[in-house]
Amino acid sequence: MANFNAHQIKEINDLIEEITKVIKPKSEIGAHDKPAITMLLKAHEPKKKATFFKCKREFSDAIVMHFVKEKEIVRSRFHKSNQTSIYVLK
Protein backbone atom coordinates (compact mmCIF):
# COMPACT_ATOMS: atom_id res chain seq x y z
CA MET A 1 0.00 0.00 0.00
CA ALA A 2 1.18 3.50 -0.74
CA ASN A 3 2.29 5.94 1.94
CA PHE A 4 -0.02 8.90 2.29
CA ASN A 5 0.53 12.22 4.05
CA ALA A 6 -1.83 13.60 6.72
CA HIS A 7 -3.94 15.62 4.25
CA GLN A 8 -4.41 12.61 1.95
CA ILE A 9 -5.36 10.39 4.89
CA LYS A 10 -8.01 12.93 5.90
CA GLU A 11 -9.44 12.90 2.35
CA ILE A 12 -9.50 9.09 2.32
CA ASN A 13 -11.18 8.92 5.74
CA ASP A 14 -13.82 11.46 4.69
CA LEU A 15 -14.65 9.38 1.62
CA ILE A 16 -14.72 6.16 3.66
CA GLU A 17 -17.17 7.83 6.02
CA GLU A 18 -19.45 8.79 3.10
CA ILE A 19 -19.34 5.29 1.61
CA THR A 20 -20.03 3.66 4.99
CA LYS A 21 -23.41 5.44 5.13
CA VAL A 22 -24.50 3.76 1.88
CA ILE A 23 -23.05 0.28 2.23
CA LYS A 24 -25.18 -2.67 3.31
CA PRO A 25 -24.11 -6.24 4.25
CA LYS A 26 -24.70 -7.74 0.78
CA SER A 27 -23.25 -4.80 -1.16
CA GLU A 28 -20.31 -5.01 -3.54
CA ILE A 29 -17.64 -2.35 -3.93
CA GLY A 30 -15.22 -1.53 -6.71
CA ALA A 31 -13.52 1.22 -8.65
CA HIS A 32 -14.13 1.90 -12.32
CA ASP A 33 -14.76 4.65 -14.83
CA LYS A 34 -18.39 5.79 -14.34
CA PRO A 35 -19.60 5.58 -18.00
CA ALA A 36 -17.96 2.19 -18.51
CA ILE A 37 -19.33 0.60 -15.34
CA THR A 38 -22.80 1.93 -16.10
CA MET A 39 -22.76 0.14 -19.46
CA LEU A 40 -21.30 -3.05 -17.94
CA LEU A 41 -24.01 -3.15 -15.30
CA LYS A 42 -26.78 -2.66 -17.86
CA ALA A 43 -25.41 -5.58 -19.87
CA HIS A 44 -24.56 -8.01 -17.06
CA GLU A 45 -26.53 -7.20 -13.92
CA PRO A 46 -29.51 -4.97 -14.74
CA LYS A 47 -31.18 -5.43 -11.33
CA LYS A 48 -28.27 -4.01 -9.34
CA LYS A 49 -28.08 -0.26 -8.79
CA ALA A 50 -24.78 1.57 -8.38
CA THR A 51 -24.01 4.53 -6.16
CA PHE A 52 -20.94 6.49 -7.26
CA PHE A 53 -18.32 8.43 -5.32
CA LYS A 54 -15.65 10.61 -6.92
CA CYS A 55 -12.10 10.08 -5.73
CA LYS A 56 -8.52 10.59 -6.83
CA ARG A 57 -6.97 7.78 -8.82
CA GLU A 58 -4.25 7.10 -6.26
CA PHE A 59 -6.84 6.66 -3.47
CA SER A 60 -9.22 4.22 -5.16
CA ASP A 61 -7.31 1.02 -4.40
CA ALA A 62 -6.71 1.95 -0.76
CA ILE A 63 -10.39 2.72 -0.19
CA VAL A 64 -11.66 -0.45 -1.88
CA MET A 65 -9.15 -2.59 0.02
CA HIS A 66 -10.25 -0.99 3.31
CA PHE A 67 -13.81 -2.15 2.75
CA VAL A 68 -12.76 -5.59 1.51
CA LYS A 69 -10.39 -6.30 4.42
CA GLU A 70 -11.84 -4.35 7.34
CA LYS A 71 -15.59 -4.40 6.61
CA GLU A 72 -15.60 -7.74 4.71
CA ILE A 73 -17.53 -6.32 1.75
CA VAL A 74 -17.24 -8.26 -1.51
CA ARG A 75 -15.12 -6.64 -4.22
CA SER A 76 -17.01 -6.45 -7.49
CA ARG A 77 -15.83 -8.49 -10.44
CA PHE A 78 -15.77 -5.28 -12.52
CA HIS A 79 -13.21 -3.57 -10.25
CA LYS A 80 -10.18 -1.95 -11.90
CA SER A 81 -7.17 -0.33 -10.27
CA ASN A 82 -6.52 3.43 -10.21
CA GLN A 83 -9.93 4.73 -11.27
CA THR A 84 -11.68 8.07 -10.72
CA SER A 85 -14.91 6.63 -9.29
CA ILE A 86 -15.76 4.17 -6.57
CA TYR A 87 -19.10 2.44 -6.85
CA VAL A 88 -21.25 0.46 -4.45
CA LEU A 89 -23.65 -2.10 -5.91
CA LYS A 90 -26.83 -2.81 -3.97
Helix axes 57-69, 6-22, angle to 10 degrees: 50
Contact residues for 42 (Cβ-Cβ < 8 A; gap 6+): none
Q: What is this structure's pTM?
A: 0.91
28 within 8 A of 88, measured Cβ to Cβ: yes
Rounded to 5°, the CA angle 39-43-46 comes to 95
Mean pLDDT (whole number) for 3-29 = 94
Q: What pLDDT, on a 0 to 100 scale, did the predictor assign at position 48?
A: 87
Spell out the residues 6+ positions from residue 70 whose beta carbon is closer than 8 angstroms to its own. Answer: none
User: Quick one: pLDDT band at residue 1, thresholds 50, 70, 90?
Assistant: low
- pLDDT higher than threshold 70 for residue 4: yes
pLDDT digits (tens, 9 = 90+) for 27-73: 999 999 999 999 999 999 888 899 999 999 999 999 999 999 999 99
DSSP 8-state assignment for residue 86: E
